[in-house]
Structure 1
Amino acid sequence: MLSGIRWIEVAFALGSLLTVGILSVAVSTQHAALTTLLVVPLCALLLLRRSAPLVSSIGIYALSLLQVFVFGTPLPVNFVVLFALYSVTVYGSRAAGVVALIGGYIGAVIFSLMLAPWWWSAGESLFYFIPTAFAVTVAWALGLVRRSRRERGEALEERERALAAGRHSEAELAVAAERARIAREMHDVVAHSLAVIIAQADGGRYAARQDPEVAVKALETVADIGRASLSDIRRILGVLRSEDGDGPLVQPQPTGEDLEELVQRVRDTGAHVSYVTLGEPKPLLPGMGLALQRVCQEALTNSLKHAGPGAKMSVLLQWTDDVVILQVDDDGRGAAALTDGAGGGLVGMRERAQLFGGHVVAGPRPTGGFRVKLTLPLQPVKEPV
């Protein structure tokens, strides 16, 4: 309770003691000692107006009532009752604020009767009661306004904390999910490459006895696949590198290079999607077909979500001697976001492209709509062993 006292409460209590407290002692010269005994705890209870508003208000109300009945007349120190009413309305429960308001009105009645008993002059009693009750009402109303602002501020702060925590969690989940997908791709690349290497090594071992040239060719194939696999692993590990080495076990992810099937699944939802291929298809590096499929899937999904109803989409797969180009367009609103704000979609596309030395360009088209263009080299980037 005492640990919650701040310097502003200390200053407020001292200020009250040095003003209304000293003024009360000066007014009650005949009972100066007794007045001091009542004034000091009354002002001291203001220290608890934030940390224990109910205790503070009950103590102030009780001491003020005791002072009135002991001296038979109000003193300036009774103004701290208004401070207590304000504080319990702001920092206490709503029920405590209502009870304190009723207590304030009762105190206004006692105050007016002390100064002008109604059996002597009802008009004079009302003259004292009305402004006193008005002061009580104003103190309570100001407390309600301050309480409303404080609760609104706390609600906004809590919302900001929740949003920040949500954004942090979404970012972590997006990164973790993307790393898990890339790890599954690494599993596929390594498994495929090792299977070919083992098959070529076994074949070369037996062929060496009959045809040395076949054995040499098998060894060359093993070396080429080994270099390509090493390059793939280095690219993947560069993306997955993190300080936390404890990651979840993952299962191999099935690959798929048939974009037409993916387009057909989107068509089955009722969307207008065209699919065009240009050039002669070329052999793809291990894992590249999955990258094409995932980028195409992400681009079509974002078009479905953001392009608007009735938008038309097109998928172009273009083959050249050196690169394969995937281009996904829509004629929608042109401001389609790649993600919901966390950045996972575009980051995932770029990471998949970077695995093979490619790149992704995404943004609104000049003629309207949105475009995602993925370019991947058909030859592995050579790296020194």
Structure 2
Amino acid sequence: MTTTGEVRTEAGGRAGPWWWDRWRGAVLDWGLALASAVECAVEGVSFAERAALPLGVGVVFGAGAGSVLLVRRMWPVAVVLVFIAVAPAQMGYLMGVVGLYTLAASEAPRRIIGALSGMSFAAVFIVWFVETTQGNVRADSAVTGDWFAPFMALTMAIGTTAPPVLLGLYVGARRRLMESLRERADSLERELQLLAERAEERAEWARGEERTRIAREMHDVVAHRVSLMVVHAAALQAVARKDPEKAVRNAALVGDMGRQALTELREMLGVLRSGEEFSSQRRVEPVPLAAVGAAAAAAAAASRAEDESGEGPCLAELEELVGQSAAAGMVVDLSVEGEVRSYAAEVEQTAYRVVQEALTNVHKHAAGAKTHVRLAHRAAEIAMQVENEPPPEPGAAGAARLPSGGNGLLGMKERVAELGGVFVSGSTEAGGFRVSAVIPA
């Protein structure tokens, strides 16, 4: 079955009867079929006289042949073949013109269109040549001659075949172009939808990463400072009456620790507020779909502004960190190997946090245990190790009653892994605990 392409709908269904796409197309085809049937019926009268047939037979034959135009959208080849068959009877020219146009505009192969157009051209040429030669077409004596018959036949053949075929080819090509453009538009819409979904997934992933990072930062800031505050508070409670001067020093240390913790929390909350303002601005101002992924990355980068700006902790503050633990009563020594040099801010902050969290764990789980902090500067990496001996008293680990969420070691491992480093932690043979990390420089 060869269709013209007009019977397809975008929704996949039909709004008209039978094979018609719309009622408008059905009305048009019924009108053309009626006009063709009337034309062929009138021409059937002359055909009946020439063929010595009853008048009714010629009229019925012509009306039946002309009504074939009704199925032009479904079977344009059949319409053209019927026109070629009735062309010797000098009828069906409307059917031939419309049939050739419909065939040329359809999705039929070009060889079929060319063959049927050539047959129609030949049929019309022969019929008019014969009629003109036999004298059925009268002409004035001044214009009669040998050239008149072929000229008349050629003019009629070209006039009834060339215009409808050329117009049909143009309309068919334009229709296929529009369908191709619609398909491309649908494809682009699907791609944009996929991009939007992927951008939302990337944004959700970025939000999850930021939540994890912020939780890790909050743990590092709060756990260490507050752990030292609790240790100093316990010591303050123990010596408040026996040694007032030491109690004053411990109280001052608690105050310093609290202020440092508040300062770091304010800085972190400031970054979070900046991120909220950034997000609200992005919601108010519409942005192109292509910028959604960039906006998620920008939001993640904005929340990392503090770390990347170099304002966070660094290795130069490691001695102060160890001194704070020593002031809290921990016996801790720091040893540095290799040539001291500066690293990327993220590397120094990660190394600092690893040592900080390891010392916090000693305060929580091995209070009073002697601790060794080792830092090694190597050619292409920096290594750190925090190892504590067993606590002097079995019950010392829980003396300060410090809670533990179990996220410290996991956070340190994630930090080091993000920089391509190696993190190892575990108990020692002597009953202590060791935390080791190596980070590429």
Instruction: Write the distance in 1 (CA, Å) between the matches of 2:309 and 2:196.
Output: 24
Corresponding residue number in structure 1 for 2:69: 43
How many residues align structurally?
241
Instruction: Write the distance in 1 (CA, Å) between the matches of 2:40 and 2:19.
Output: 30
Corresponding residue number in structure 2 for 1:138: 163
C-alpha contact (below 8 Å) 1:193/1:225 kept by paired residues? no
Structure 1 235/4 Cα, relative in aligned 2: closer, same or farther at 3 Å? farther
TM-score (norm 2): 0.45
Corresponding residue number in structure 1 for 2:40: 24
**Letter of the aligned partner of 2:158 in structure 1?**
F
Instruction: Write the distance in 1 (CA, Å) between the matches of 2:174 and 2:262.
Output: 72
Structure 1 166/150 Cα, relative in aligned 2: closer, same or farther at 3 Å? same
Corresponding residue number in structure 2 for 1:107: 123
Query: 2:107 matched to 1:92?
Result: yes
- In the TM superposition, residue 130 of structure 1 has moved relative to its aligned partner by 0.6
Instruction: Write the distance in 1 (CA, Å) between the matches of 2:24 and 2:123.
Output: 27
**Letter of the aligned partner of 2:35 in structure 1?**
T
Instruction: Write the distance in 2 (CA, Å) between the matches of 1:179 and 1:235.
Output: 19
**Letter of the aligned partner of 1:206 in structure 2?**
V
Which of 125, 134, 153 is 1:129 aligned to?
153
Structure 1 14/191 Cα, relative in aligned 2: closer, same or farther at 3 Å? same
**Letter of the aligned partner of 2:104 in structure 1?**
T
Structure 1 45/215 Cα, relative in aligned 2: closer, same or farther at 3 Å? same
Instruction: Write the distance in 2 (CA, Å) between the matches of 1:198 and 1:4.
Output: 76
* CA displacement, residues 159-218 of structure 1 (integer Å, 9 cap, x when unaligned): 444555555555655565455445434432321221221112222222212235133543
Query: 2:292 matched to 1:288?
Result: no
Structure 1 20/291 Cα, relative in aligned 2: closer, same or farther at 3 Å? farther
**Letter of the aligned partner of 1:126 in structure 2?**
P
Instruction: Write the distance in 1 (CA, Å) between the matches of 2:306 and 2:261.
Output: 22
Aligned pairs for 1:266-281 (under 5 A) are none
SS at match of 1:196: helix
Query: 2:214 matched to 1:195?
Result: no
* CA displacement, residues 339-368 of structure 1 (integer Å, 9 cap, x when unaligned): xxxxxxxxxxxxxxxxxxxxxxxxxxxxxx
C-alpha contact (below 8 Å) 1:90/1:144 kept by paired residues? yes
Instruction: Write the distance in 2 (CA, Å) between the matches of 1:8 and 1:111.
Output: 36
Q: What is the percentage of aligned positions where both structures have the same residue? A: 12
Corresponding residue number in structure 2 for 1:11: 27
Structure 1 61/150 Cα, relative in aligned 2: closer, same or farther at 3 Å? closer
- In the TM superposition, residue 60 of structure 1 has moved relative to its aligned partner by 1.0
Aligned pairs for 1:186-335 (under 5 A) are 186-211=211-236, 213=251, 214-223=253-262, 225-226=264-265, 229=268, 232=271, 239=279, 287-289=304-306
Task: Give structure 1 stretches of 5+ with no counterpart.
Answer: 243-254, 257-284, 294-385
**C-alpha RMSD of matched pairs (Å):** 4.1
- In the TM superposition, residue 26 of structure 1 has moved relative to its aligned partner by 2.6
Instruction: Write the distance in 2 (CA, Å) between the matches of 1:176 and 1:5.
Output: 41
Corresponding residue number in structure 2 for 1:306: none
TM-score (norm 1): 0.50
C-alpha contact (below 8 Å) 1:108/1:133 kept by paired residues? yes
Instruction: Write the distance in 2 (CA, Å) between the matches of 1:168 and 1:58.
Output: 42
Instruction: Write the distance in 2 (CA, Å) between the matches of 1:292 and 1:208.
Output: 34
- In the TM superposition, residue 124 of structure 1 has moved relative to its aligned partner by 5.9
Corresponding residue number in structure 2 for 1:33: 60
Instruction: Write the distance in 1 (CA, Å) between the matches of 2:306 and 2:131.
Output: 94
C-alpha contact (below 8 Å) 2:20/2:26 kept by paired residues? no
Structure 1 162/17 Cα, relative in aligned 2: closer, same or farther at 3 Å? closer
Task: Give structure 2 stretches of 5+ with no counterpart.
Answer: 1-6, 8-17, 46-54, 137-144, 237-249, 284-299, 311-441
Structure 1 16/124 Cα, relative in aligned 2: closer, same or farther at 3 Å? farther
C-alpha contact (below 8 Å) 2:226/2:258 kept by paired residues? yes
Larger Rg: 2
**Letter of the aligned partner of 2:165 in structure 1?**
W
- In the TM superposition, residue 17 of structure 1 has moved relative to its aligned partner by 3.3
C-alpha contact (below 8 Å) 1:189/1:287 kept by paired residues? no
Instruction: Write the distance in 2 (CA, Å) between the matches of 1:38 and 1:59.
Output: 11
Instruction: Write the distance in 1 (CA, Å) between the matches of 2:106 and 2:148.
Output: 36
Instruction: Write the distance in 1 (CA, Å) between the matches of 2:189 and 2:38.
Output: 51
SS at match of 1:28: helix
Which of 44, 63, 67 is 2:86 aligned to?
67
Corresponding residue number in structure 1 for 2:396: none
SS at match of 2:89: coil
C-alpha contact (below 8 Å) 1:112/1:129 kept by paired residues? yes
C-alpha contact (below 8 Å) 1:43/1:80 kept by paired residues? yes
Instruction: Write the distance in 2 (CA, Å) between the matches of 1:85 and 1:27.
Output: 20
